[in-house]
Structure 1
Amino acid sequence: MGNQNFLKTTKLADVARWCVSQFVVSVAGSLPPGTAVLDAGAGECAYKDLFSHCTYKSIDLGIGDSSWDYRHLDYIAPLDNMPIDDECFDAVLCTQVLEHVSNPFDTVKEIYRVLKPGGQLFLTAPMSQGEHQIPYDYFRYTSYGLRHICELAGFQSVEVSPLGGMFLRWAYEVPRAMPDMPTSGIKSGKINLAGLLLAPVRIFILSIVRLVQMFLILVDPLDKDKVDPWGWKVVARK
């Protein structure tokens, strides 16, 4: 659906998104049939198919990326002022969104409002990530910051866990160090001579990057403290 292929993203291609997607897969699998789910900040509803056994609704302001197709949304509205009645949903999914809202506390408070008593919030947010969806990128979060916001909103049970450890974060960062080299243009049909000539160099560098990533992922379990991950996942109950 749309341009987002989050579930097809491999671990080496985008470690961070892979971690988020694995979390969402586990969330979807834990929810019983008929669960009323709100995908808050859904974008192109990339995870909708995972919740086919649920009653799935989506909301987004529709301004994050000009190339995205927002036509599949059920609501186009700000997350800190949702046109949704109180206590409508059993679960709210909010992945990689909280850094893009200018009023994160009001957003989490709104999520709390639309959840039924006993309902759950499933949230992910980055602690270390480059600026993206500019200019709609405002915050990065520590585990304590996320817990504080959720508890202020009224959530009584808040569990915050790291998305991997320090080495996994490095595995995410390594590809960003690759030099900006022209591509061959073969896939698009627009052949670039410079890209063709540099293709062996590009392949060699990418091979080194992938080997480094695999090593970092392999040793990530050695990081026992996990206080410096790429991001966090949150499970909070109303």
Structure 2
Amino acid sequence: MAVDMSGASEALRAFVAEAPAAREPHVAFLRQAAAALAPGARVLDVGAGEAPYRELFAGTDYRTSDWSGTTHTPDVAVDVVAPADDLPLEDDSLDAVVCTQVLEHTPEPWRVLEEFARVIRPGGTVILSAPLTWYLHELPHDYYRFTAYGLAHLLHRAGFVDVDVQPMNDSVSTVAELLRHLRWIIGSPEDGHEGSRGTAGVLLAELAGVVDQAAWLDSQWLMPISFSAVARVPGGE
């Protein structure tokens, strides 16, 4: 899915280029979600890491949080250092929480969503994404993968309403993106096969380009890399 990157910073362009099938849909999704927020809305990006999507929320009062054990070293220090399920914020103190590709790294994601419901004001919004099809990463803190129905269940359980969960890319693009990443997934031990692994990586990347050509044929999107979700805290009408 081609996404308009005009106006994006070089940093965001470089970040997206590392995994375009996974990250281009995030740019489109977060732009739309940010546009739906009121100017100056109080937004907390939970598990923000290096906050690659910060610029998409330029019209809001955007803040970041991450836990003390993060492996990320952002150029701008996070505003709140705390685990996602225990934020040092008052009830109903935010207009929105953003949380992209973080729930899989939390041992009890239902508690995280309950915490979001606590700190978001009535009528406020949670904006999140979580993976279905991706390899192990940020080990050892990689605990879950989510279906659309699983995400919806957890959001409803936490008390959210108007839950809208959508696949973020087609299944063919998922396979192609994983083929590109296989060069790194298979590792690089010094066992005498480094050259063969390098050659295999090039061939897999070329195969990914061939596979991508069939992406337009997917009519169901049953195996996306990730799902997006938007939901609302009841009240505030």
TM-score using structure 1 length = 0.80
Structure 1 distance, partners of 2:161, 2:153, is 11
State the percentage of identical aligned residues. 33
Helix, strand or coil at the partner of 1:31: coil
Aligned partner of 2:228 among 203, 214, 233: 233
**2:101 touches 2:130 (CA, 8 Å); kept in 1?**
yes
Helix, strand or coil at the partner of 1:26: helix
**2:172 touches 2:212 (CA, 8 Å); kept in 1?**
no
TM-score using structure 2 length = 0.80
Q: How far did 1:176 drift? A: 2.7
Structure 1 distance, partners of 2:74, 2:112, is 23
Helix, strand or coil at the partner of 2:176: helix
- Structure 2 runs not aligned, ≥5 long: 1-10, 189-193
Structure 1 vs Structure 2 CA RMSD: 2.8
Structure 2 distance, partners of 1:68, 1:104, is 24
Q: Tell whether 2:119 aligns with 1:121.
A: no
Residue 165 of structure 2 corresponds to which residue in structure 1?
160
- Structure 1 runs not aligned, ≥5 long: 183-194
Helix, strand or coil at the partner of 1:80: coil
Structure 2 distance, partners of 1:168, 1:89, is 35
**1:164 touches 1:220 (CA, 8 Å); kept in 2?**
no
**2:183 touches 2:201 (CA, 8 Å); kept in 1?**
no
Q: How far did 1:56 drift? A: 0.9
The alpha-carbon distance between structure 1 residues 62 and 23, as it changes in their structure 2 partners (threshold 3 A), is: farther
Helix, strand or coil at the partner of 1:178: helix
1:58-207 alignment, distance < 5 Å = 58-65=64-71, 68-69=73-74, 72-178=77-183, 205=203
Structure 1 distance, partners of 2:202, 2:47, is 38
- Higher gyration radius (CA): 1
**1:6 touches 1:21 (CA, 8 Å); kept in 2?**
no
Q: How far did 1:52 drift? A: 1.9
- Superimposed CA distance per residue, residues 57-90 of structure 1 (whole angstroms, 9 cap, x where no aligned partner): 111104232x523752111001111100011111
Q: How far did 1:181 drift? A: 9.3
Structure 2 distance, partners of 1:134, 1:207, is 25
Moved over 6 A (4+): 179-182
**2:168 touches 2:225 (CA, 8 Å); kept in 1?**
yes
Q: Count residues in correspondence.
A: 217
